């Protein structure tokens, strides 16, 4: 006699309920992680840029920047770009929130969900581009002398490439999911 005969399958939850429970947990975890990431990133940038003496001191030490070349107005403008980049990231988090709401509402394999996934990817591309483009503008606002002294990695950093790869992957998935959802809708309309 095998042990399999003693297993009672009636106590096991249906697969769709298990999927729904796991999906709810995943959606809320993604939402929490996105908000924490956004708040953390903004807080760290604000703390970093909020201490002007330390920032300018670092540039003086690393790049022999003349402290007198940094104007209050230029520094304030560079600091302001932190919030522009944060706003671009907030748009991506907003679209991620909308996508997870689709999933939470049970609209997982739909054209709407695929389009929301595409919006997440495109907003992620835009947020990354804003972050990358903000760097040279910040440096120019701080001091033209600093512009030629910075190494290449100051302009384009490894996390930028990672964000672009993730967004590219999400965009590809969105295209695949949208095509699959359209085929499923066409098939359902025929039947």
pLDDT at site 149: 83
Residue 166 CB-density burial (10 A; 0-12 exposed, 13-18 middle, 19+ buried): middle
pLDDT of 15 reads 52
Q: Looking at the predicted structure, is the pLDDT value of residue 191 above 90?
A: no
Q: Note whether 83 and 130 are within 8 A (CB).
A: no
Domain locations in the chain?
16-190
Q: Is residue 122 over pLDDT 90?
A: yes
Q: Does residue 84 have a pLDDT over 80?
A: yes
- pLDDT band at 30, cuts 50/70/90? very high
**Higher-scoring residue by pLDDT: 186, 40:** 40
pLDDT tens-digit readout, 43-56: 999 999 999 999 99
Average pLDDT over residues 94-114: 94
Under 8 Å between Cβ of 92 and 127: yes
Q: Is 106 left (phi over 0), alpha (psi -120 to 50) or beta?
A: left
**Residue 102 reports pLDDT greater than 70:** yes
Closest C-alpha among 79, 92, 87 to residue 46: 79
Instruction: Say if residue 8's pLDDT is above 60.
Output: no
183 vs 16, more confident: 183
186 or 171: whose pLDDT is higher?
A: 171
């Amino acid at each position: 006699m095998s042990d399999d005969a003693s297993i009672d399958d009636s106590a096991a939850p249906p697969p769709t309920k298990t999927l729904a429970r796991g999906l709810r947990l995943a959606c809320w975890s993604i939402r929490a992680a996105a908000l924490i990431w956004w708040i953390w990133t903004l807080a760290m940038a604000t703390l970093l840029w909020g201490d002007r003496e330390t920032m300018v001191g670092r540039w003086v030490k690393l790049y022999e920047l003349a402290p007198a070349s940094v104007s209050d107005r230029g520094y304030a403008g560079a600091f302001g770009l932190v919030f522009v980049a944060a706003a671009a990231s907030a748009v991506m988090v907003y679209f991620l929130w909308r996508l997870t709401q689709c999933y939470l509402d049970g609209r997982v394999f739909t054209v709407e969900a695929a389009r929301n996934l595409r919006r997440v990817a495109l907003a992620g591309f835009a947020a990354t581009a804003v972050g990358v483009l903000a760097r040279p503008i910040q440096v120019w606002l701080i001091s033209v002398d600093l512009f030629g002294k910075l190494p290449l990695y100051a302009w384009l950093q490894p996390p930028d490439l990672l964000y672009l790869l993730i967004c590219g992957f999400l965009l590809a998935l969105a295209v695949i999911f949208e095509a699959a959802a359209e085929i499923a809708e066409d098939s359902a309309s025929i039947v």
